[in-house]
Structure 1
Amino acid sequence: MRDKCKGAACNRFNCPANCQNKKGKVWGTLFYDVQSSICRAAMHYGIINNNGGLVDTTRKDKFPFFVKATKNGIESFSKYKAGNAFVVAKVERQSVDCYATMVEICPFKKPYSNCPRVFCPANCKNEPSYWAPVVGNSFYTDSSSICRAAIHAGVIQAGGGYVDVLALDKKKSYVGVLKNGIQSESKSNPEGGSFRVFAVRE
């Protein structure tokens, strides 16, 4: 995992098939050393099988030691010295409507919220802003419509599609901008957290 994690969406990986017999080493059980293969660690944990799939990772600083185990056909190794670690989590997929917000599906919790991959329907662009508001630009309030924010950000088209979302802590202010046919709102010191949206290449 080391050196691969750059930027806000760095926690989500699409593992290829056939990692079972690859050479990438895994250190630890449940908590894995950052030098471990992410996809083989996810197989070891049981989140994915040899067909691959989506995996979320969360970093844990300075774990005291790593314990070996053989699980799901993957052998991990021990390391009896402190190191940075990560844990893996399954990525759910969730279909939402045009009005769904992060408050409802994935509110921000410290240190990190494991959010689903969201599928947006078509025609959210035309929903009125009082039912499906968009507040902000790039960073949106967690009370904003996820799907309309994704259209505003250019992550999906009006026809809908999959979106990755990242729950974040609150921002002091949000600036409204007209983008992709949607006028977002400005707001200062709102309640709640924020979020970002990311394109999904599937």
Structure 2
Amino acid sequence: MTARKNTAVHRGAALLAGALVLALGLFASTGTATAQNLPDCNYSYPSGQAEYSCACPAGRSDGSIWGTGLYTSDSDLCTAAKHAGMIGKAGGNIRAVLQPGQGRYPATTQNGITSSEWGSYSESIEFYLPGQAIVQRLPGCDYYFPSDAAQYACTCAPDDFDGSLWGSGIYTSDSNLCTAARHAGAVGPAGGDILAVARPGQERYPSTTQNGITSSDWGSYSSSIEFVVDSTVAPVPVPTAAGPACGKFPVGATQHDCVCAASAAAAGPVWGSNPYVTDSDICEAARHAGVIGETGGAVRLFGLPGLDKYAGSARNGVTSYDWGTYGASFSFDGNLR
């Protein structure tokens, strides 16, 4: 990334040069110009405004810009609008909208304009046609999952998947969000919106290679995250007492919601300590994990890869057993307690 040195000096000079050639233009989105009385465009987006419409003069396309589609809010408005394809050489009227900051702004060459790359920035701008509905963008992802959040929605930048991660399907909460999301298949190489959900800590996080990303192995950790692999990025519904009664964990399931009756709170054997082998009694394991008490209740389980070893322990009045290699595991969502 090229350092932006003496930004105020260079941008002040560009603002002065741009001001000398400002003139009222015509909006030309499809080659048909429509006259509008709009003020001349500032060099960069005005602070504090949710939306800004202005006129770009002919030939003003030599300012500095950072990003593609979404641009840093200090990018030259008219140059960015031409890069985005909203105006041509003749200039024209533009409509810019303030959007949340992103973690990375990729560089591209479009419409004869080359943008620069930049990392994290506090605010973004995006261009819209007059009357076009505005799509509210998500903020760029932090490196880690926020420690006090139950779930976190954000946007991963393209090809920004080189951070460290531990686990598979369920990851340690200090894993890099976007790299873990790519490993889980929640986002593709082009980046995009993700939804991460807080999960309870696990005794072990296995290493796998998925979607071109290799995760690392880790032992016990206090908190975890999981990704909702859904293009709509919808919140995860909470299981209710009206759900089906718990039996055995369904073979091949990635998530299972069920209800433990009070009489089922102490039943069959359990192997492991969250995660558990999948033929463990669900309700007894839930009591061992502390997600239900003697009165039972609704539980949510997540399917996980098998482990080489499961450690037994005594918790909450339930004793689980050791086991060796097993093909599949499950753990509980501790956020529903």
TM-score scaled by structure 2? 0.32
Contact 1:101 1:142 in 2 (8 A): yes
Distance change (3 Å), C-alpha of 1:194 and 1:201:
closer
For residue 35 of structure 1, what is the aligned residue in structure 2? 155
Query: Structure 1 residues 4, 163: closer, same or farther in 2, change over 3 A?
Result: farther
- Aligned residue for 1:135, secondary structure, equals coil
Distance in 1 between the 2:316 and 2:299 partners?
A: 16
What is the aligned-residue RMSD (CA, Å)?
A: 3.5
Structure with the bigger percentage of strand: 1
Alignment match of 1:167 (pick from 284, 303, 314): 303
Task: Kindly state the Cα deviation for residue 155 of structure 1 after the two structures are TM-superposed.
Answer: 1.2
Q: Normalising to structure 1: TM-score of the pair? A: 0.51
| TM-superposed deviation, 1:35 | 2.6
Quick one: distance in 2 between partners of 1:4 and 1:142?
33
Query: Contact 2:266 / 2:283 at 8 angstroms: preserved in 1?
Result: no
Could you tell me which amino acid in structure 2 is paired with residue 137 of structure 1? S
Bigger Rg, structure 1 or 2: 2
Alpha-carbon distance between aligned partners in 2 of 1:4 and 1:95, rounded to the nearest angstrom? 38
Structure 1 equivalent of residue 275 of structure 2: 139
Q: For residue 120 of structure 1, what is the amino acid of its counterpart? A: C
The counterpart of 1:123, out of the listed 250, 263, 266, is 263
Q: Give 1:142 deviation, angstroms.
A: 0.9
Shift of 1:4: 9.4
Bigger relative contact order (CA 8 A; separation at least 6): 1
Number of equivalent positions? 129
What does 1:45-84 correspond to in 2, within 5 Å?
Answer: 59-63=185-189, 82-84=190-192
Mapped partners of 1:180, 1:144: distance in 2: 16
Distance in 2 between residues matched to 1:96 and 1:5, nearest whole Å: 36
Task: State the secondary structure of the residue aligned to 1:136.
Answer: coil
Is contact 2:262–2:294 with CA below 8 Å preserved after alignment? yes
Query: What's the counterpart of residue 252 of structure 2?
Result: 107
Which residue in 2 is equivalent to 1:24? none
Q: Structure 1: any 5+ residue segments left out of the alignment?
A: 15-32, 37-56, 64-81
Amino acid aligned to 2:188: K
Q: Which amino acid aligns with 1:135?
A: W
Q: Does the aligned pair in 1 maintain the 2:309–2:324 contact within 8 Å?
A: yes
Change (3 A) 1:116 1:138: closer
**How far apart, CA to CA, are the structure 1 residues paired with 2:143 and 2:335?**
18
Change (3 A) 1:177 1:201: closer
**Secondary structure, in 3 states, of the residue corresponding to 1:123?**
helix
- Structure 2 residue ranges without an equivalent (≥5): 1-137, 157-180, 195-229
Identical pairs, percent = 26
For residues 142 and 305 of structure 2, the distance between their equivalents in structure 1, rounded to whole angstroms, comes to 24
